[in-house]
Chain A
Amino acid sequence: MKIKSTLENYVFVLPAVLIFAVFYIIPFIWVFQLGLYDWDGILPTKIFVGLDNFKEILFDKIWWQSMGNAGYITLIALTFQNALAFLLAWACDREIRGKNLYRVIFFIPPVLSEVVVGLVWQWILDGNYGLLNSWLAHLGLSHLARSWLSEPQTALTAVAIVHCWKGFGWGFLIFLAGLQTIPRELYEAARVDGANAWVSFRKITIPLMIPVAVLVAILTVLGTMQAFVLIIAMTGGGPAYHTQVPALRILASMRGSSRFGYACAQGISFGVILMAISFIQYRFSKKSRV
């Protein structure tokens, strides 16, 4: 009876554990194994090369350039996108007409796929047929018109701004939920004590929102560093590696140059860097919590 009952328990978790073992744990182990080999993904023979793949990464200029590009997009997302998200949340956290409608609208870009967003914006920013340039021409500013996505000076920033457009709704919702947990009585009490709006914003809102801000920052960094489908749809990584990001390099190593081992090594290095960043942010958040 006891044994039958225990077996029954395992039946409940078996499907989940089986799928998880095959499609998560095995690939996880293989990434680490394959990272030590030179393999084209087809031939049955893999050549063991030890840590050579990782050494090569150290001197892979395009890899580090992509890392820099992803860092640049992340920096814009951390500052511009999150500041916008916070301001919007702050504006919606009050008795204001239509705030529910705004909330609904701000989360439309996040639910759309990166492919849809990327392809629509790709056309808007296109040099020859794009809407932006035709507007500039109408305004008599045709000297400002350019191929936004195929010129090295503007491509990366354009991609970063579209990324922010797509992503700010997440931060907005989390900030808004955070703001709504602040008890109204705190503001009331501050006002009775003679504090003006700016003082109560600085002394109540900001300190209470720091943990939320750290959380949003962690999610932004992890999400933005790994984003790449939007870039596939907008520029494909060009012009000349100017919008390449690490995840796109991994895909290129695998599909472009058929170097599966190198692709896995890149994946491991990138994963370790991401873990390190979020760990540092987490520690930082613990310290800042009073």
Chain B
Amino acid sequence: MKTGAYYKTKKASINLLIHLFLLSVATTCLFPLIWMVSSSLKSQDVIFKDTSLLPKAFHFENYYRAWMEGGFGRYFLNSIFYTVAVVIGIIIISSMAAYAFSRFRFPGRNIMFFMFMAAMMIPIPGSFVALYVLLNKLHLRNTSFGYILCMINVGLSTSIFLLKTFFDKMPKELEDAARIDGCSKIGLWWHVALPLSKPVLAVVVVFNALNVWNEYILALIIFDSRPLMPLQVALTTFQGEFVTNYPLLMAGLTITAIPIIIVYLLMQKYIVKGVTQGAVVG
């Protein structure tokens, strides 16, 4: 006969094992990041000798040097600019389109919407080759504008899908009331639909912001001149030139990673929502 105490101990030990498992994976997740931050505060002299996680002296000047001499200040502002510009562009363009797809009836509506959806399903691994050629022809290569347009296109399909799904479920009564008051279609979209869609807009903003901030390959082929480069490309360039200047490289990596981690921690509710919704799309 097994007693209640037996079950209690069994349950407690299973729980302990589960905690150990979760804790060890969590440590593995966090460790490289802590190592990155701590190394960014060490000096070049001790970087290979001092492998502790808490540096003996904090060399905050590494950040100053990365920001000024390494040029990361410039690259950081570039990344901010591209991210903000692309996200604003996507919000306006995709919400307009999604609103029309959801509310209006016009010839070609279904085929257009279908094309956006098909683009989400079809992988074209070589598309950056053709994009390079296209941007050259349009004289948009090595320009911020060209990069921003390309990145708006990258986020368009998913954003339209998320927004249209949301608009489809949104009750039409409020818009009817506004229409009777003489509101135009543009007015309905801007004053009624957009404010109501804040929850899904948050998902669209977070995902596109992460995507643009972390984007590498298009930036690599589009930008030749350094003053235009975003952080991700600048990092690989920097690493190629200063192979073992690890303190500055780690400072640059930290500068790149911190904004993303902050945005993630603040908006993680929307990220979880987006992943589970996005998974349904795929």
Interface on A for B, CB 8 Å cutoff?
6, 8-10, 12-13, 15-17, 19-20, 22-28, 30-31, 34, 41, 84, 87-88, 91-92, 94, 96-98, 101-109, 111-117, 119-121, 123-124, 129, 131, 134-135, 165, 170, 173-174, 177, 215, 218-219, 222, 226, 229, 232-233, 246-247, 250-251, 254-255, 260, 263-264, 266-268, 270-271, 274-275
Contacts and interface: CB of A to CB of B under 8 A. Distances in A.
Interface string B96-128: 110111001111010010011001001111111
B26 A23 contact: no
11 contacts: A9-B100, A24-B153, A91-B18, A106-B26, A108-B29, A119-B236, A124-B35, A173-B275, A263-B126, A264-B129, A267-B129
B97 A16 contact: yes
B5 interface: no
A87 B33 contact: no
Contact of A113 (B124, B213, B239): B213
Contacts of B185: 8-9, 12
A267 B126 contact: yes
Contacts of A116: 235, 253, 256-257
Contacts of A135: 51
Interface of B: 15, 18-19, 21-22, 25-26, 28-30, 32-33, 35-36, 48, 51, 92-94, 96-97, 99-101, 104-107, 109, 112, 115-116, 119, 122-134, 149-150, 152-153, 156-157, 160, 185, 189, 210, 213-214, 216-217, 221, 232, 235-236, 239, 244, 246, 249-250, 253, 256-257, 260-261, 264-265, 268, 271-272, 275-276, 279, 282
B232 A115 contact: yes
Given A13-B96, A115-B232, A255-B221, 7 more contacts: A19-B93, A26-B134, A27-B133, A30-B130, A87-B21, A96-B22, A254-B132
B51 A111 contact: no
Nearest to B119: A24
Given A91-B18, A174-B276, A218-B282, A120 B26 contact: no
Given A23-B149, A114-B216, A124-B32, A96 B275 contact: no
B126 A112 contact: no
Residue with the greatest number of chain A CB neighbours at <10 A, chosen from B106, B122, B160, B279: B279
A260 B109 CA distance: 35
Contacts of A263: 126, 129
A114 B156 CA distance: 22
A9 B104 contact: yes
B129 A254 contact: yes
B25 A107 contact: no
Contacts of B261: 108, 111-112
A79 to B, nearest CB: 17
Contacts of B246: 123, 129
A27 B134 contact: yes
A223 to B, nearest CB: 10
Nearest to A255: B221
A141 B83 CA distance: 46
B29 A109 contact: yes
A215 B279 contact: yes
Nearest to B275: A173
Nearest to A84: B25
B153 A23 contact: yes
Nearest to A7: B106
Question: Top 8 nearest A-B pairs by Cβ distance?
Answer: A267-B126, A27-B130, A12-B100, A113-B214, A16-B97, A23-B153, A30-B130, A9-B106
A260 B275 contact: no
A275 B122 contact: yes
